[in-house]
Structure 1
């Protein structure tokens, strides 16, 4: 099992409508056939020193194996998401775990 966790910090001038479109773009990634488990979220209202709540969106995907992850990376839906929405990224951090 491969977990792919992506944290997005969107630019400060991103509008609410753009954030809504960004979220829909993230949700489109669920249709990629190798995605086994899917979650999009925003920071939870948890105030603890060890919890980072500075990001805008969190995307967590699980794949059966590295081959599934590799299919996702080059999939047309993933590429379309990046082409349309990378202009909103201020910062992106990715954690992959097996």
Structure 2
């Protein structure tokens, strides 16, 4: 069995509860309006670790936009199945309370500055936006 610290356990539990909250939200809870914005960045120089690090640095600054409810910056996992796309360099997963908050983020000066300062690094960007599906 893998040994874990109390701190690590609490961090993991807190993150899991935030991520699961929308799933367990009642019909009267605003969490059902959750808006998910997932961006995949394809670098002009895909193997350039300095470019990847620079982009991640910019995303960390961008994560300070107050309308963002939760953020995850990632790189391709080592998983390898035919349905997995691994050609991107960095993924940027954001959660907002609703579409209106995401629209504020799109026009936020930090976001506009990020595009101005870092867009020279990427060749292509793909965005997947989603809202909660109606159940029942």
Same fold (TM over 0.5): yes
Residue 77 of structure 2, aligned match among 44, 61, 74: 44
Q: Check conservation: 1:6, 1:92, Cα contact below 8 A.
A: yes
Root mean square deviation, CA, Å: 1.3
Greater strand content = 1
- Gap runs ≥5 in structure 2: 1-33, 132-136
Higher RCO, Cα 8 Å, sep 6+: 1
Larger Rg: 2
Whole-angstrom CA distance in 1 between matches of 2:86 and 2:48: 19
The 2-side partners of 1:19 and 1:54 are apart by 13
Taking structure 2 as the reference length, what is the TM-score of the superposition? 0.69
> What CA distance in whole angstroms lies between the structure 2 residues aligned with 1:78 and 1:62?
15
Corresponding position: 1:26 with 2:59:
yes
